[in-house]
């Protein structure tokens, strides 16, 4: 009897481990199926995080993605998925070192928005483990603190989920690249004119249906030809990139900024009155005027002239006529801003209020 008990005690751990591993592989298989059905970067990474939480019960998980989508001509950013959020500060120095960043401004968090004075918790990096992803169009890295020792078996689990996630991300990035090629201006990262025409149709239809205001501002960079002639076209490109970045970072996520021509841009502002659009444009005008743009050819300062228009929908005419009027009115106001000495917004707030009275 004692011999049988001894044999049983030797067999039980083997049976238990086999059962655990079978359960793990069933979970892994289901998660791989799920992540291949995702249609967003966030969805794929979230599925990866859930899988590793179930199997490894991590205390900290971060996935960093650097792809062709978040890489521009002069800047390489990273997207980060972090769980839990309280370890952000401790990890940022690792991200900056591993991905050769110049600072925190190049880190974009996919699943959190942080407050300036948010409480953080430090931890020792000594037990942090990492796994690297290398695909043709993206690179990434998993960082983890786990509640158990990482064995070769667990290494294999992580490698399988990382490889499957990498293939799914690579496929999605290729699709986004094809989409962006048709809709995004490659120099500034703004929508192109063709996509603006698609978006303005949708915006006008929505404004009419919901009976909400809709405004547009158009602006171009003053004396831009002189910038190109003085500093060269590469410096001119740097100016376009910087000015468009200032505007993009200052408008709402639901606003739409497009490059309309060479140095000319246009923005669609849903649920925005003409007065609100004028106030926004004037803030942007000041930011552009105050910015010093550093290029290889020297430092450059520029100004911009803005024209504002708002939707005055006519239900007797087609949406296409409203589009034409919106754009023509904004263009006309921008021309008046040029005639008024440039570096200004038309109509101005005083002019608008006087007209209203």
Q: What tens digit of pLDDT does each residue of 113-128 get?
A: 877 777 787 777 888 9
Q: Which of 163, 182, 201 is the last residue of a domain?
A: 182
Q: What is the average pLDDT score of the chain?
A: 86
Kindly state whether residues 258 and 167 are assigned to the same domain. Answer: no
Number of domains in the chain: 2
Kindly state whether residues 107 and 143 are assigned to the same domain. Answer: yes
Task: Confirm whether 220 is domain-assigned.
Answer: yes
Kindly state whether residues 19 and 99 are assigned to the same domain. Answer: yes
Which secondary-structure segment (H or E) carries 15? helix 2-35
Kindly state whether residues 296 and 167 are assigned to the same domain. Answer: no
Q: Which domain holds residue 220?
A: 193-356
pLDDT at 241 over 80: yes
Per-residue pLDDT band for 15 (boundaries 50, 70, 90) equals: very low
Long-range contacts of the stretch 177-180 (C-beta < 8 A, 24+): 177/68, 177/69, 177/137, 180/69
Kindly state whether residues 173 and 199 are assigned to the same domain. Answer: no
Kindly state whether residues 81 and 165 are assigned to the same domain. Answer: yes
Task: Confirm whether 188 is domain-assigned.
Answer: no
Kindly state whether residues 199 and 339 are assigned to the same domain. Answer: yes
Task: Confirm whether 290 is domain-assigned.
Answer: yes
Distances (CA, A) of 39 to 27, 47, 164, 169, 171: 21, 12, 14, 9, 10
| CATH number of the domain residue 18 falls in | 3.30.450
DSSP conformational letter for 340: T
Q: Which of 12-21, 71-80, 209-218, 247-256 has the lowest mean pLDDT?
A: 12-21
Kindly state whether residues 122 and 203 are assigned to the same domain. Answer: no
Task: Confirm whether 212 is domain-assigned.
Answer: yes
pLDDT at 5 over 50: no
Task: Confirm whether 176 is domain-assigned.
Answer: yes
Active site residues per annotation: 263
| CATH number of the domain residue 228 falls in | 3.30.70.270
Q: For position 154, what pLDDT does the model report? A: 83
Q: Cβ of 109: how many Cβ atoms within 10 Å?
A: 15
Task: Confirm whether 297 is domain-assigned.
Answer: yes
pLDDT digits (tens, 9 = 90+) for 57-115: 899 999 999 987 665 545 568 999 999 988 888 899 999 999 988 888 888 898 888 77
Q: What is the rounded distance in angstroms from the CA atom of residue 325 to the CA atom of residue 338?
A: 20
pLDDT at 317 over 70: no
pLDDT digits (tens, 9 = 90+) for 198-208: 999 999 999 98
Task: Confirm whether 140 is domain-assigned.
Answer: yes
């Amino acid at each position: 009897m004692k011999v049988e008990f001894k044999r049983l005690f030797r067999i039980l751990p083997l049976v238990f481990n086999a059962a655990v591993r079978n359960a793990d592989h069933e979970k892994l298989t289901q998660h791989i199926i799920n992540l291949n059905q995702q249609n967003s970067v966030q969805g794929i990474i979230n599925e990866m995080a859930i899988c590793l939480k179930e199997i490894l019960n991590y205390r900290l998980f971060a996935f960093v993605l650097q792809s062709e989508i978040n890489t521009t001509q002069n800047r390489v950013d990273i997207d980060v998925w972090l769980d839990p959020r309280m370890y952000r500060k401790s990890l940022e120095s690792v991200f900056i070192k591993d991905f050769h960043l110049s600072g925190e401004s190049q880190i974009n968090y996919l699943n959190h928005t942080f407050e300036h004075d948010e409480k953080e918790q430090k931890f020792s990096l000594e037990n942090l483990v990492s796994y690297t992803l290398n695909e043709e169009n993206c690179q990434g890295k998993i960082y983890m603190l786990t509640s158990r020792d990482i064995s070769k078996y667990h290494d294999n689990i992580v490698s399988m989920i990382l490889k499957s996630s990498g293939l799914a991300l690579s496929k999605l990035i290729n699709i986004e690249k094809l989409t962006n090629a048709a809709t995004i201006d490659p120099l500034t990262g703004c929508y192109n004119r063709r996509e603006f025409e698609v978006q303005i149709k949708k915006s006008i239809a929505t404004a009419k249906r919901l009976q909400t205001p809709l405004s547009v501002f158009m602006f171009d960079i003053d004396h831009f030809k002189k910038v190109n002639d003085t500093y060269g076209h590469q410096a001119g490109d740097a100016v376009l990139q910087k000015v468009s970045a200032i505007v993009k970072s200052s408008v709402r996520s639901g606003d739409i900024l497009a490059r309309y021509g060479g140095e000319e841009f246009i923005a669609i502002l849903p649920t925005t009155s003409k007065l609100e659009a004028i106030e926004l444009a004037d803030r942007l005008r000041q930011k552009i005027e105050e910015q010093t743009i550093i290029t290889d050819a020297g430092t450059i300062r520029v100004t911009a002239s803005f024209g504002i228009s708002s939707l005055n929908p006519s239900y007797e005419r087609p949406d296409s006529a409203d589009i034409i009027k919106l754009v023509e009115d904004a263009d006309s106001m921008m021309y008046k801003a040029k005639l008024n000495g440039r570096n200004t917004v038309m109509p101005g707030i005083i002019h608008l209020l006087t007209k209203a009275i």
